[in-house]
Amino acid sequence: MTTSPALLNRELGLIEFNRRVLAQAEDAHVPLLERLKFLCIVSSNLDEFFEVRVAWLKACQRLTPSMVMPDGLNASQSLEQVSHHAHALVERQYALMREVIFPALSQEGIHFVRRAEWSPEVKAWIHAYFHNDVMPVLTPIGLDPSHPFPKLLNKSLNFAIELEGRDAFGRSSGIAIVQAPRILPRVIQLPADLAGGPNHFVFLSSILHAHLNELFLGMVVKGVYQFRLTRDSELTVEEDELKNLRTALQGELRHRQYGEAVRLEIADNCPEHMEAFLLSQFSLSKADIYRVEGPVNLVRLMQVPDLVDRPDLKYPPFTPGFPAPLTKKHDLLAAIRKQDILLHHPYQSFQPVLDFLNIAATDPNVVAIKMTVYRTGTESALMESLIAAARTGKQVTVVVELMARFDEEANIGWASRLEDAGAHVVYGVYGYKIHAKMLMVVRREEGHLRRYIHLGTGNYHPRTARLYTDFGLLTCNPDIASDVNDIFTQITGLGKMGELRHLLQSPFSLHPGMMAAIAREADHARAGRPATIIAKMNSLLEPKIIDALYAASQAGVKIQLIVRGVCALRPGVAGLSDHIEVRSVIGRFLEHTRIFYFLNDRQENVFIASADWMGRNFFRRIETCTPVLDPKLKRRVIKEGLRLYLADNVNAWMMQSDGSYRHKNPRAKPHAAQDDLLLELAGTHT
């Protein structure tokens, strides 16, 4: 394994990524309501960061305190650094909200109305709203021996109320807790005629602050303090106790909301004694508390841009385009038979994928459909097509990944509906998440069966296909089709893994395949031949791959990495990684494509994949990595997925050897890859 100075800390890399996301909210060139969204995305990202990564570090600190991480730090040292950097990030985020975003919104007529600004008419409306829509669902809990501190839901909005006096029963505990149910909106739009405009909002927390005293008649409310608790949300299912994964997961999901506490967010007006009381209830330390001046949950502000009809403050809408083979109205399957078709989302439409499955569901010549499902959402036309196909008697096999983090409940629901419709539902291989994106349609044609394939870098999720950048390949290449069929057979059945013709697959051939390709470039460089590696992914963490890249750099290979999120490799270190550069592109769309390019003595081997270069993707997941065989499509992937991003000088950040990033400012003509692709591939702009 690489010595510790050569690897960077994963958790600090994630915080650094969120600094780059926050920079989008700070950028005055980004439309104002989109800046608000980026502000919210940081909070959403941090929620998952604490629920998963910080929770994991705390578990390591408890169970294996002496264990040294790949970067050379133990869990306690990592947590100390994480706390320092996370607190600084949150302070910067809230300062931006208060001092820049909210004032700019106010100038545009979008107001978050403070209690001191409520007119008598607004006060009356809010009072009625509280009594009609809020108070009936509130349950105040006064703390005493009969009412211990309640078990609070993960990430719920709560209020600690400091009281004085005695109630009707003579009780005087001095503290009560009120939890705001999740059915209540956190941001309420005021009637335009009362507020003086259509875009005036009030926070639920402000309404509760103003009226919670009505829940404690005859007592004096000395203070109301909002707080929010984040808990460990990782699910654990023990294999030796497992009989039915779905049943076991359904049981675990009920407990997710009550995992170990990992973070406490409190309002800035909370006094020290109340802070200490709350920390003691959750067994947290001072370092785990995040005191904020503003709402304790900015994620709920994400709904505001949807409520505000101001297109001038949002990204211009666009209509996704179609690749040339699909621009004319003709038989989709005939087009696939004629040539492989590459889809580049979101610039090109996801509709061909929906059409592909819908055609398969209704075509009487289609005899079988097989598909993997990782994330697809609670509403999905794709899943409805599969259910319809199963009901007509087609052989429908769906590999549903029940352990897709935070999508478990939705996937369990789809699994039940699919089984009820007569589909074969398989939960994959225990211990290996099914992360591959594969769809196979088997059709009877002219006396034989032909297999049509879709392989992608992203999920079968129409909504995220408008927000994430991904490639999808439609093909009926017999060898690729045979590989996909073999992988499905391997997942649903039992038996040894055979050798695939073109695809690389985790956990078997992908890691050795990438190691061999990297080593081959190093051999070319040592022999004096041009040698280049370009790779684009979400995360780069796997130590052996990083070692191999270091060795290739030292052999003279030019290595350009486009890593959106966390990267443990140190670029530009003399004698170690002189020939490696790492950039991150953060823009309107979430960069999600995985592309691996190897010059290979000018043969140019190009792959698109479902996998990042992480240990989990190589060894604990079932992934696919697909070579792009068609020369024209290969040129498209190189240009659209790699070259344009290497030329980006607007949204690109260059990674430094210490793990920090510098924004790549344009010195000449600005080039933004996402804007260029919208102009080149999308349809009409409105």
Active site positions, annotated: 435
Distance CA 677, CA 348 (A): 9
Tell whether omega for the bond before 507 is within 30 degrees of 0, i.e. cis.
yes
> Contact, 628 vs 607, CB < 8 A?
yes
Alpha-carbon separation of residue 213 from 39, 204, 207, 218 (angstroms): 32, 15, 11, 9
Residue 316 DSSP label: P
Q: Where are the alpha helices (DSSP H) in 117-223?
A: 120-129, 192-195, 204-211
Distance CA 157, CA 136 (A): 17
AA identity, residue 69: M
Distance CA 490, CA 308 (A): 50
Would you mind telling me the total number of residues written for the chain in this entry? 686
> Contact, 619 vs 507, CB < 8 A?
yes
Residue 32 DSSP label: H
Cross-strand pairs, 482: none
> Contact, 565 vs 539, CB < 8 A?
yes
Distance of CA 331 to the CA centre of its chain: 35
- Torsion angle of C-alpha atoms 588, 591, 593, 598, degrees rounded to 10: 110
> Contact, 597 vs 604, CB < 8 A?
yes
Distance CA 331, CA 119 (A): 62
Which residue's entry shows tokens 């699909």?
326
Distance CA 215, CA 301 (A): 27
> Contact, 440 vs 451, CB < 8 A?
yes
Distance CA 402, CA 244 (A): 11
What are φ and ψ of residue 630, in 5° steps? -70, 125
Closest alpha carbon to 669 in 647, 653, 652: 647
Which residue's entry shows tokens 């950097």?
85
Closest alpha carbon to 481 in 441, 426, 437, 436: 441
**Residue 449: strand, helix, or coil:** strand
AA identity, residue 666: P
Residue 348 DSSP label: B
